[in-house]
C-alpha cells in the first residue's frame, strides 16, 4: 500500500511541476512582451511541496538490500512523467491556428521547463543515488535527504523566480 501511495503522490508531483509549473508564474511563448502578473508562486505551493516530500519519504524501505527498488522505480517513474507533462502543458498555447512562437526555438519554452522542474529532477537523482547503496547509507539519510533537497530547492526556486529567473526568461534569446 505504501508503494501505491508513493507512486500516486509522485505522479501528482510530476503533473504539478510539469503541467502546473509548480505554482510558478510562467512566460507565454506565443505572445511577445507579456510578463507574469505575479512574481512568486501561487496557490498552496508549499503544501503541495510538502506532500511531494512525504511521497519521497514513503518510498524508502527499511530493509537494506543491495538495491532498494522502491525509490529507484519512483525516481525514474517521476522523471518520465515530468518529461511527459512539461511539454504537454505548453502545447496548449498553440490551440489557435494563428498561434506561433515569438522567438526561434520557442524561447523560453525549454529553459523555463527545466528551471521549473529542477528541484524535482535533482531530488529524483538524489533519491535514485541513495537507493543503489542502501547498506552503506543510514536509513535516516535515505529517508530525509531526498525530501530535504526537494524542499530546500523548491524554496530557493520560489525566492529566486520573480527577481532573477523571470527577467532572464523575458529577454529575447541571443
Q: How confident is the model at residue 129 (pLDDT cuts 50, 70, 90)?
A: very high
Where is 13: in which H helix or E strand? helix 2-18
Q: Mean pLDDT over residues 130-148, rounded?
A: 88
Residue of higher predicted confidence among 45 and 121: 121
Report the C-alpha gap between 111 and 170 in whole angstroms. 11
The domain segmentation of the chain, as residue ranges, is 2-36+45-170
Helix axes of 109-131 and 139-160: crossing angle, nearest 10 degrees: 170
Grid coordinates representing 61?
524501505
* pLDDT one-digit tens code per residue, 24-37: 887 888 777 676 65
* pLDDT one-digit tens code per residue, 25-71: 878 887 776 766 555 676 677 778 888 888 888 888 777 678 888 88
Residue of higher predicted confidence among 33 and 166: 166
In sequence order, which ranges of 24-137 are alpha helices (DSSP H)? 45-59, 69-91, 109-131
pLDDT of res. 35: 67
Helices (H) and strands (E) in the chain, counts: 6, 0
Q: Mean pLDDT over residues 138-155, rounded?
A: 92
Amino acid at each position: 500500500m505504501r508503494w501505491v501511495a508513493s507512486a500516486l503522490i509522485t505522479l501528482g508531483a510530476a503533473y504539478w511541476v510539469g503541467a502546473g509549473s509548480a505554482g510558478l508564474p510562467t512566460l507565454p511563448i506565443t505572445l511577445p512582451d507579456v510578463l507574469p502578473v505575479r512574481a512568486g508562486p501561487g496557490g498552496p505551493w508549499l503544501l503541495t511541496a510538502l506532500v511531494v516530500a512525504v511521497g519521497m519519504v514513503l518510498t524508502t524501505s527499511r530493509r537494506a538490500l543491495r538495491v532498494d527498488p522502491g525509490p529507484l522505480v519512483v525516481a525514474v517513474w517521476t522523471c518520465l512523467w515530468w518529461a511527459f507533462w512539461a511539454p504537454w502543458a505548453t502545447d496548449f498555447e498553440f490551440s489557435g491556428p494563428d498561434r506561433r512562437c515569438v522567438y526561434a526555438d520557442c524561447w523560453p519554452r525549454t529553459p523555463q521547463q527545466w528551471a521549473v522542474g529542477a528541484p524535482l529532477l535533482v531530488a529524483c537523482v538524489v533519491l535514485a543515488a541513495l537507493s543503489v547503496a542502501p547498506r552503506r547509507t543510514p536509513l535516516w539519510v535515505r529517508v530525509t535527504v531526498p525530501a530535504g533537497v526537494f524542499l530546500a530547492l523548491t524554496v530557493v526556486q520560489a525566492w529566486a523566480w520573480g527577481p532573477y529567473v523571470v527577467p532572464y526568461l523575458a529577454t529575447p534569446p541571443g
